[in-house]
Amino acid sequence: MAIDPVSRVEGHGKVTILLDADDRVHQVRLHIVEFRGFEKFVQGRPYWELPVMVQRLCGICPVSHHLAAAKALDVVVGAPKLTPTAEKVRRLMHYGQILQSHALHFFHLASPDLLFGFDSDVGRRNIVGVAAEHPEIARRGVLLRKYGQEVIRVTAGKRVHGTGAIPGGVNKALTEVERSTLLADAYQMIAWARDAVALVKKLHLSNVALYNSFGAFRSNMLSLVAPDGGLDLYHGALRARDAAGTILFDQMSYDRYWDRITEEVKPWSYMKFPFLRELGPEAGWYKVGPLARVQNCDHIPTPFADAERREFVDFGGGQPVHATLAYHWARMIEMLFAAEEIKELLHDDDLLGDDLVVTGERHRRGVGVIEAPRGTLIHHYRLNNNDQVLRANLIVSTTHNNQALNEAIRQVAKRYLDGRKLTEGLLNHVEVAIRAFDPCLSCATHALGKMPLAVELVDAEGKTIDALTS
């Protein structure tokens, strides 16, 4: 069986569900053309172009790539520690992005599924439908995102694809007017973010059986954490837990991430499969992103978000929550954290400073890691003596989540595939599972209110027995 294409999957994508001789699902393959060519065409370019160039990888979370590249180049220019102004402006930029991206992901792309039901009318199951039936929810979603975009504009110069972070620092601080303008709405954003957590929690608790089991799978978890174990999405060291929540390693500097993480290539996918070296490819794959981060950290350094984290952890009853749909709950906790963090930063006078850039001893290699909205993001560059890029290695969040995505879809297929017949219902459920991880894989669906699916049903002998196009 092939579901093709999942619209807007970084360009192209399809889901292949392999049946065994008894017509049972035994494997799922999510094919995503994650290859974007950036690692090749940055070769030879001067390093200071990288933060601006590589952010074009993504239109939803370009700030992640902008900052991960800048962090890698901080090492190159001998500035592992930035000035307080530069670090806080970058943090503000990043949390602005977390806010806008999480708002987009939940309100615009995922909430239609959750509010209307996975099998509801596709013509209504979009943000326009949400606006018609739940106008206040839709309005807040739009305004939360708009606020995050405005934070990005103030720090990076543009709402999308700015230039704020440069190797060793930033190219601008905030003016008093910019700060006070953002502060004027900061508390409203926190209030709305709290309501968003309440909404997603209510949805989850209103149908615990479904939400806990849908696409659920157990896995290791990976993320950055702060030195004190707290949640920090801008900087930290690597921590991994197993599926039971036991720490596998902690406070590992990401400078040599390859000592802990390596990638496997499979012949049927362009995307690599990262895994933890010490556990091997079969047992070492992991999930990243909100669900991993909120449970990997020991605490969240802002009060409202930490209270929500504790409630979330309590909901797990002493075990990590592995429900795929709990990604949304964790995502909204992070959005609340971002809103609180933005408010805290805006009260800090360092944002108005004029000491913007640090330089020191040059190096020819730099690794930058950041927690992007979808998960851990690694940028790794090597330079020649003439300031040109020799090699680049980018491991993006969706790649980290590759096996996890496949596993979530497999669970959904096992549960919802009925015999040898494809149904719209199955396709809808596959979409919902993908969307829990990554809006990049589904944004056209809800943005347009239509998902053109070409479906092929192939039996164990490779024979096409059914076809369906929506």
Partner 1 sequence: MTANGAADVFLLDGEPIPFAPGQTVMQAALAAGHYIPHLCFHHDFKPHGSCKVCTVRVDGATTASCTLPAQAGMSVECKADDLEENRRTLVQMLFVEGNHFCPSCEKSGNCLLQAVAYDLGVLDADLDYFFPSRPLDASHPDLLLDFNRCILCELCVRASAEVDGKHVFALSGRGIGKHLIVNAESGRLVDTTVAVTDKAVDVCPVGVIIRKRVGFAVPIGRRRFDARPVSAQALEDAPRRAPPEAAP
Instruction: Give the binding site for partner 1 (CB under 8 A).
Output: 44-46, 48-49, 51-53, 56, 77, 156-158, 161-164, 166-167, 171-172, 357, 386-388
Q: Are 164 and 89 in contact (CB under 8 A)?
A: yes
Nearer to partner 1 among residue 38 and residue 147 (C-beta): 38
In whole angstroms, the minimum distance from the beta carbon of 392 to partner 1 comes to: 14
Nearer to partner 1 among residue 26 and residue 159 (C-beta): 159
In whole angstroms, the minimum distance from the beta carbon of 50 to partner 1 comes to: 9
Nearer to partner 1 among residue 252 and residue 357 (C-beta): 357
**Cα distances (angstroms) measured from residue 400 to each of 15, 154, 158, 378, 388:** 18, 31, 29, 10, 28
In our burial notation (b when 16+ CB lie closer than 10 A, e otherwise), range 175-210 reads eeebbeebeebbeebbebbbebbebbbebbeeeeee
* Amino acid type, 401: N
DSSP 8-state class, residue 8 = T
Nearer to partner 1 among residue 2 and residue 182 (C-beta): 182
Q: How far apart are CA 143 and CA 148, in angstroms?
A: 9
* Amino acid type, 348: D
| Residue at token pair 């959904």 | 412
In whole angstroms, the minimum distance from the beta carbon of 117 to partner 1 comes to: 41
In whole angstroms, the minimum distance from the beta carbon of 255 to partner 1 comes to: 22
In whole angstroms, the minimum distance from the beta carbon of 384 to partner 1 comes to: 8
In whole angstroms, the minimum distance from the beta carbon of 52 to partner 1 comes to: 5
Nearer to partner 1 among residue 52 and residue 338 (C-beta): 52
In whole angstroms, the minimum distance from the beta carbon of 80 to partner 1 comes to: 17
In whole angstroms, the minimum distance from the beta carbon of 53 to partner 1 comes to: 4
Question: Is the four-CA dihedral 410, 411, 413, 414 of positive or negative sign?
Answer: positive
Q: How far apart are CA 15 and CA 359, in angstroms?
A: 47
Nearer to partner 1 among residue 76 and residue 233 (C-beta): 76
In 3D, which of 338, 327, 328 has the Cα closest to residue 301?
A: 338
Nearer to partner 1 among residue 56 and residue 266 (C-beta): 56
| Residue at token pair 């494809």 | 422
| Residue at token pair 């670090």 | 87
Gyration radius of the chain over CA positions: 22
| Residue at token pair 């369906």 | 468
